[in-house]
Structure 1
Amino acid sequence: MAGQDGGAVTVVRAVRVWPVAGQPAGLPEDLPDAIAAVAVAPAGPSWPEHRARFAIEVVGDGVSGWHAPVGESVARLVVDTLADGLVGHDAAAPRKLVYRQRAGRHQHGAHARQAASAVELACWDLASRASDRSVPELLGGTVRARVPAYASALGLDPAHPEAVKAAAWIADQGFWGQKWPLTKEVLRQGPRVVGRVLGALREAAGEGRFMVDGLRRCRLDEALTLLPVLADLEVAFAEELLEPGGFAWAQVRTAGVRVPMAAGEHAVDEHEQTRLLAGGVVDVWQTDPGWSGGLARSLHTIEVAADLGMATFPHGDRLWAALALAGACCRDKVPAVEWHLTLEPLRQQVFAEAAVVEAGLLPSAPGAGLTPPPVITSPLPVWAVGS
């Protein structure tokens, strides 16, 4: 297809930033009773990047690509450091994107990588809409039209008396598995209490897979005493008991108690991803395409992880991008994606069409485009670069 001046319709003519609604306070409406009874109000509304949120639009000839939501710091980086170089780029040539001109000195770190990821994901959205082909097709072919989801119970209180009912409800819904947090309150009470709390949840989960997330809260001594408990529970993986890759992490890895260790969602720069993957540091890989550089980079690390014998479970912050990756990969490479029981319904509110889990499965693509269009809250963009 050609544009008005003879160029491809996927050539970016402008970059615009639009406001979308901030994350509302409190829990989402219509949570199942079993989940609502043990849910903890999310902290998101207290974070600046959740109060003021934006959508990135890359404009082609008669078609646009979108990515949302991003915080103000990331949106400003897109405008100030990436937009000028993006204008004139062909979104259908994703491998060339990293070589486009950038402004400013700050090209690394979490916000810089989120900005680069947002631009890359918006370009995939534009290329998909212009070609009327799904993103998994553009990534090499759709392997699965529907993808298993595991339930993240990180917004729930594992020590609540009704938590076992929530674990049973998750199992009944057909989720691939369920992941529970190791809260500070439970950790302070020692490994016996942790074993009792998690053991009750594990029993309620039945034959489903069971995981835990330490949220980097464990001290080294706590992590070492927890390993036999987690081994007895036969957890599918333990995510980030403490900071991945450091001295304490190495001590846990060599403690002699075999518990699969998962990390990767916070490895935003390429060198950190390579260090964790190639250094034998992790057993289960977790990439976030909204933080790690985008789809192409995430797909690369998924392939590397598979070569090293590791499965990948994409982090749930960018659900639609995670689903596109899973749709282009077999189940051995990406067994399931993360569905956050209390946060994901809030994340989905920025889209015109929300994702819904049915029998533990999600569609690998919404059709043409990487994501459904975002719901814009203003008739005019906040910032615009190009024509």
Structure 2
Amino acid sequence: MARRDGGAVTVVRAVRLWPVAGQQAGLPEGLPDAVAAVALAPAGPSWPEHRTRFAIEVVGDGVSGWHAPVGEGVARLVVDTLADGLVGHDAAAPRKLGYRPRVGRHQQGAHARQAVSAVELACWDLASRASGRSVPELLGGTVRAQVPLYASALGLDPAHPEAVKAAAWIAEQGFWGQKWPLTKELLRQGPRVVGRVLRALREAAGDGRFMVDGLRRCRLDEALALMPVLADLDVAFAEELLEPGGFAWARLRVAGAGVPMAAGEHAVDEHEQMQLLAGGAVDVWQTDPGWSGGLARSLHTTEVAADLGMATFPHGDRLWAALALAGACCRDKIPAVEWHLTLEPLRQQVFTEPIVVEAGLLPSGAGAGLAPLPVTSSPLPAWEVGS
């Protein structure tokens, strides 16, 4: 991976941002009938970050690395705070990336960490394409060629009369498990109704693992009342019934009831991650390489979680990165990766080669590149830094 003049081909010479199409409104085409019957139209197309989107290109010598999509706010942070310091960085040295110069005041928080994560993932893509080695290989070695998925039904209505058919369909497809949302409407009806609705779904799921996601919507009293219900359903984990890490979360942990508590995808800064992990606040760790600082950081917290006896279930927002992470870890560390039934097909539309699930499995990434190339919507970049 070296040039004749002694420079590495993976040294970043320029950073470009290319427009990509915004997320289309409505549900994706081709959803299975059982899923489409109970699916809710996603709210994402109305969000500015999904209407105006970009792909990041880090340009080496004769090869580029890519990451997509990012919203305009994250793209602006890449240009304003990170791009100048990224030029001259060797993408094959990911541990040095955190020491590259940054400018501006916005160094922490969700958008800042998404920007850092985006350029880190683009550098992994560049290093992989330049070397011809897969990202799991670069992370330390490919442990698994295929990764189990659990189906996220967060875009479905759990109280719909046909929801049990969707739960049965998920089980038939061979997914590792399935996760259902606790909607506001369902929570308002109280724990008895929640229990009745979830039990019907649980029975339809058969022997597959069953999880719930509170989406931080529960009040403390609601969450406390739900714990015995969830324990009776033998859920594999309950995700973010309320805001993790605070006083209410601690009260819920004390109540226990034997329900494993999951969190982590929204812990974007390092200190938040360590507080949840080392403080004994969670039983199941969730990381998102696109939010948490990138693949190297996600691998680190996955290893810390494993040392503390916790499994990690990567959030599915940056699916390709989550699959690469899982490919470099054994199944005890990462049993499965999230596949969002209604949103992931929409996310895949930005790539030249959308991924297809077979028997509840996806490849961890055997070839060069972290993800397929994105589909840009302009012949010229929107911004360019460097040359």
TM-score interval (norm. to shorter): over 0.9
Query: Is 1:285 aligned to residue 285 of structure 2?
Result: yes
Could you tell me whether the CA contact under 8 Å between 1:91 and 1:126 is conserved in 2? yes
Q: CA deviation at 1:319?
A: 0.1
Following superposition of structure 1 onto structure 2, how do residues 1-387 of structure 1 map, counting pairs within 5 Å?
A: 1-3=1-3, 5-365=5-365, 367-387=367-387
Determine the C-alpha separation between the residues in 2 that align with 1:103 and 1:21.
29
Determine the C-alpha separation between the residues in 1 that align with 2:81 and 2:4.
28
What CA deviation, in whole Å up to 9, does each residue of 1:102-139 have, x standing for no partner? 01111000000000000000000000000000000000
Determine the C-alpha separation between the residues in 2 that align with 1:2 and 1:368.
17
Determine the C-alpha separation between the residues in 2 that align with 1:116 and 1:109.
11
Determine the C-alpha separation between the residues in 1 that align with 2:366 and 2:249.
39
What CA deviation, in whole Å up to 9, does each residue of 1:224-269 have, x standing for no partner? 0000000000000000000001011011100141100000000000
TM-score in terms of structure 2 length:
0.99
Q: CA deviation at 1:5?
A: 4.1
Could you tell me whether the CA contact under 8 Å between 1:4 and 1:61 is conserved in 2? no
| SS state at 2:275 partner | helix
Determine the C-alpha separation between the residues in 2 that align with 1:257 and 1:85.
49
Determine the C-alpha separation between the residues in 2 that align with 1:386 and 1:6.
20
| SS state at 2:98 partner | helix
Q: Partner amino acid for 1:152?
A: S
Determine the C-alpha separation between the residues in 1 that align with 2:231 and 2:11.
52
Q: Partner amino acid for 2:376?
A: I
Q: CA deviation at 1:3?
A: 3.0
Determine the C-alpha separation between the residues in 2 that align with 1:366 and 1:159.
40
Determine the C-alpha separation between the residues in 2 that align with 1:2 and 1:276.
42
Determine the C-alpha separation between the residues in 1 that align with 2:286 and 2:168.
26
Q: Partner amino acid for 1:21?
A: A
Could you tell me whether the CA contact under 8 Å between 1:117 and 1:292 is conserved in 2? yes
Could you tell me whether the CA contact under 8 Å between 2:145 and 2:366 is conserved in 1? no
| SS state at 1:68 partner | strand
Cα RMSD between the aligned structures?
0.7
What CA deviation, in whole Å up to 9, does each residue of 1:338-359 have, x standing for no partner? 0000000000000001111100
Q: CA deviation at 1:2?
A: 2.3
Determine the C-alpha separation between the residues in 2 that align with 1:312 and 1:257.
21
Q: 1:51 to 1:31 in 2, by over 3 A?
A: same
TM-score in terms of structure 1 length:
0.99
* Alignment: residue pair count: 387
Please, which runs of 5 or more residues in structure 2 have no aligned partner?
A: none
| SS state at 1:235 partner | coil
| SS state at 1:317 partner | coil
Q: CA deviation at 1:6?
A: 2.9
Determine the C-alpha separation between the residues in 1 that align with 2:256 and 2:303.
28
Post-superposition, which runs of at least 4 consecutive aligned residues in structure 1 deviate over 2 A?
1-6
| SS state at 1:210 partner | strand
Q: CA deviation at 1:197?
A: 0.3
| SS state at 1:373 partner | coil
Determine the C-alpha separation between the residues in 2 that align with 1:48 and 1:103.
25
Determine the C-alpha separation between the residues in 1 that align with 2:203 and 2:105.
52
| SS state at 1:254 partner | helix
Q: CA deviation at 1:69?
A: 0.3
What CA deviation, in whole Å up to 9, does each residue of 1:184-235 have, x standing for no partner? 0010000000000000000000000000000000000000000000000000
Q: Partner amino acid for 2:337?
A: V
Q: Partner amino acid for 1:145?
A: A
Q: Partner amino acid for 2:124?
A: W
Q: CA deviation at 1:4?
A: 6.1
Q: 1:383 to 1:5 in 2, by over 3 A?
A: farther
Determine the C-alpha separation between the residues in 1 that align with 2:194 and 2:134.
44
Q: CA deviation at 1:313?
A: 0.2
Q: Partner amino acid for 2:349?
A: Q
Please, which runs of 5 or more residues in structure 1 have no aligned partner?
A: none
| SS state at 1:212 partner | strand
